[in-house]
A and B are shown apart, each in its own frame.
Chain A
Amino acid sequence: MKTNKTISGLKEDLSKVLLPLYVDKISCGFPSPASNYMEKKLDLNEHLIKNRASTFIVRAMGDSMEPLILEGDELIVDRLEEPKNKNIVIAIVDGEFTMKRLILKGNKKYLKAENNNYNIVEITDSIEIWGVVQKILRTV
């Protein structure tokens, strides 16, 4: 603002007022009390996937793992996770992908279905663990 002030008195020239031109929108109101506490949003990618390079997503079919896993569920599988007792794993049996619970008893290993209509299978050299299921995604 341009003013003409003389020492002798207040003599302001108010005929010309120069104001800066704002290009951006200005948010009105007082600063938010929450501004110091803002965090980034809940990130699902980070939450669901630990190691992106070794994580794959597969789709569940059939009822072998009911009621825990239902047909159509998407399973997040990590190939680098060390399979431990009671983990749900994806294994290769007879050239096909299967989802089962891994049971370690002494020095024997088994693949067990949640559904009692299915038999327990002992793991031999011909069976390979493909990965460990981390999360189950279901649309309800």
Chain B
Amino acid sequence: MIALVDCNSFFASCEKVFRPDLKNAPVVVLSNNDGCIVAASREAKEILDLDMFRPYFEYKDVLKKNNVHVFSSNYTLYGDISARIMNLLHSFTQNIEVYSIDEAFLEVKGFTNLYEYGERIKKSIYQGTGIPVSVGIAKTKVLAKIATGIAKKNDGICILDTKEKTEDALKKTDVKEIWGIGRAYKKKLYRFGTRTALEFRDLSDLFIKKQFTKVGLNIALELRGINCINMELNPSPSKGITTSRSFGKSVEKLQDLEEAISEYTTLACTKMRTQNLSARHISIFITTNSFKDNSPQYWNSYSERLLVNTDSTSEIIGYALKGLRKIYKRGYSYKKAGVMLTDLIDSKTIEPDLFDSLSMTDRQKNSKLMKTVDKINLKWGRNCLYHASSGIKQSWQMKRNLMSPCYTTRWEDIPTVR
């Protein structure tokens, strides 16, 4: 059997862990740049008719009137609490697949009382971290997802271990709730008169494959209790590392774009080094705001393949800025930029090239320097040491006005007790 453990309103729940005063209060969390509401506690969902993808400013008045607490995303905090939860879940299974920041699939073998197993998981996670979770257990991943969906609406546990229970669940589940069925497939299914998961499950294989490709067929097979989607136990090393963000406010000057690109390159490189990888291909892109239809639009990107794989931030910033200067055009209001590092290999297997502009000794020196910078930043806080090209004021930085303290990762932010 497969269990899916899914945290309830994860971001909002994280914000409550160190705020005992908000235990039963309505809480919402905003996306990057405080743009949209991405998480809402149970109390907030009950008060407000929340359409998650509508912009935050449309809700401002309603939120204020109902004393809803609003937070900017605190990814540092959420990441730390997520790591703790995944760590605790390891003791419940031999095989765990961390699916997202707040979901994990567990292989369940040799447990006869599945309900009790689910209860123990719930209790352990809540006791250990303060986060409430829902547990769905079924024969396949797709069924487990459906089980968790039902668990969330009830007391937090749903076991689909018999044919009857499974069929009953599928009857009550709309096709759009099925994992893997997106908006386009949903519309198509509705047109064919297929509205429930049970109806989808019972369509002919030929029909499914024709209309919804092999992917759709796999989903149907999983609904029938046949495992097609394997547990991914050892995530493959990154095929690419991307850092791209929208700006807090529109950017016009080249200098500001240079700062942003330098910053994003630094972040991507640091991430790459933690996986002991080096990149041979770098791309950057800049784009204007496509939502502002009145203003002129511009999107461009620059790519370069390097002679030798490198993990040196300084070196890669050089290429990134060179590319930026080639594609930058004056007179546009830029809203977003990004850096992508691909063609990654293990840093130990870098081979020298005859035409390389740097000698191997210089490369090794750079590598050592980067490792030292990483160590210092780890100890003293992100961006303690940074490249001057990233800028000091950084007026383009993401707006996160309502962020909570990093309670678990910064000494100056740890909670106080009396």
Interface set of A (CB-CB < 8 Å, partner B): 51-54, 56-62, 64, 74-75, 79-80, 90, 92, 95-99, 128, 130
* From B23, B129, B416, contact of A61 by CB (8 A): B416
Chain B residue, CB-CB nearest to A128: B20
Contact B415 A59 (CB under 8 A): yes
**A57 to B411 Cα, complex, angstroms:** 9
Chain B residues within 8 Å of A96, by CB? 20-21, 418
A99 touches B417 (CB 8 A): yes
Q: Is B414 a contact partner of A74 (Cβ separation < 8 A)? A: yes
Interface residues contributed by chain B, number (CB under 8 Å): 20
* Chain B residue with Cβ nearest A98: B418
Q: Contacts A53-B84, A95-B21, A97-B20 hold; do A75 and B417 have CB atoms under 8 A apart?
A: yes
Q: State the B residues within 8 Å of A (CB).
A: 20-21, 23, 83-85, 87-88, 124, 127-130, 407-408, 414-418
Nearest CB to that of A97 among chain B residues?
A: B417
- CB pair A98–B129 under 8 Å, yes or no, is no
**Bound Cα distance from A62 to B23, whole angstroms:** 24
The answer to whether B130 and A79 have CB atoms under 8 Å apart is: yes
> Are the CB atoms of B415 and A97 closer together than 8 Å?
yes
Output the least CB separation between B19 and chain A (Å): 9
Residues of A within 8 A of B85 (CB): 53
Contacting residue for B128 out of A53, A61, A64, A99, CB 8 A: A53
| Minimum C-beta distance from B104 to chain A (A) | 13
Q: Across the interface, do B88 and A62 meet the contact criterion of CB distance under 8 Å?
A: no
**Chain B residue nearest in CB terms to A99:** B417
A95 x B23 contact (CB < 8 A):
yes
Known: A80-B127, A92-B20. A97 touches B418 (CB 8 A): yes
Complex partner residue of A58 from B127, B128, B129, B415, CB under 8 angstroms = B415
The residue in chain A whose Cβ has the minimal distance to the Cβ of B130 is A79
- Can you name the residue of chain A whose Cβ is closest to the Cβ of B418? A62
CB-CB under 8 A for A53 and B129, given A95-B23, A96-B20, A96-B21: yes
A89 CB to closest chain B CB, in angstroms?
A: 10
Contacting residues, chain B, for A54 (C-beta < 8 A): 84, 88, 127-129
Contacts of B88 in A (CB 8 A): 53-54
Q: Complex Cα distance A122/B128, Å?
A: 24
Cβ contacts A to B, 16 pairs, < 8 Å: A53-B128, A54-B129, A58-B415, A58-B417, A59-B416, A61-B417, A64-B418, A74-B414, A79-B129, A79-B130, A80-B128, A92-B20, A95-B23, A97-B415, A97-B416, A130-B20
Measured in the bound complex, the distance between the Cα atoms of B408 and A108 in whole Å is 33
Selected contact of B418 from candidates A51, A52, A95, A99, CB within 8 Å: A99
**List of B residues within 8 angstroms of A57 by Cβ:** 408, 414
The closest CB in chain B to the CB of A56 belongs to B408
A80 to B125, CA, bound (A): 9
For A130, the chain B residues whose CB sits under 8 A away are 20, 130
Residues of A within 8 A of B414 (CB): 57-59, 74
Task: List residues of chain A with CB within 8 A of the CB of B124.
Answer: 80
CB pair B417–A90 under 8 Å, yes or no, is yes
Closest to B88 in A: A53
Which of A58, A64, A80, A128 is within 8 Å of B416, CB to CB? A58
- Which residues of A lie under 8 Å from residue B128 when comparing CB positions? 51, 53-54, 79-80
CA separation between A97 and B130, bound complex, in Å? 14
Most buried by A among B124, B129, B417: B417
Which are the 4 A-B pairs with shortest beta-carbon distances?
A: A95-B21, A54-B128, A53-B87, A97-B417
Assembled-state Cα–Cα distance A123/B361 (Å): 67
Q: Whole-angstrom distance between the alpha carbons of A78 and B302 in the complex? A: 50
Give the residue name and chain of the B residue nearest to A60 (CB).
B417
B84: chain A residues at CB < 8 Å are: 52-54
Min CB distance, A43 to chain B, in Å?
17
The minimal Cβ–Cβ distance linking A74 to chain B, given in whole angstroms, is 7
Q: A113 — nearest CB in chain B belongs to which residue?
A: B418
A81 to chain B, nearest CB (A): 10
Chain B hits for A52, CB < 8 A = 84, 87
CA distance A52 to B418 in the complex (A): 24
Inter-chain CA distance A71–B365, complex, in Å, is 46
How far is it, in angstroms, between the C-alpha of A108 and the C-alpha of B418 when the chains are bound?
23
CB distance from A114 to the nearest CB of B (A): 13
Partner of B417, one of A53, A59, A95: A59
A75, A95, A99: the one within 8 Å of B20 (CB): A95
For B85, give the chain A residue with the smallest CB separation. Answer: A53
A59 CA / B127 CA spacing, docked (Å) = 21
- Give Cα distance in the complex from A50 to B21, angstroms: 28
Contact B130 A61 (CB under 8 A): no
With CB as the reference atom, state the residue of chain B lying closest to A75.
B417
Q: Complex: how many Å from CA A59 to CA B413?
A: 9
Measured CA separation A74–B417 after assembly (Å): 10
> Which A residues lie within 8 Å of B20 (CB)?
92, 95-97, 128, 130
A47 and B96 CA atoms in complex are apart in Å by: 28
Bound: A57/B413 CA distance, A: 10
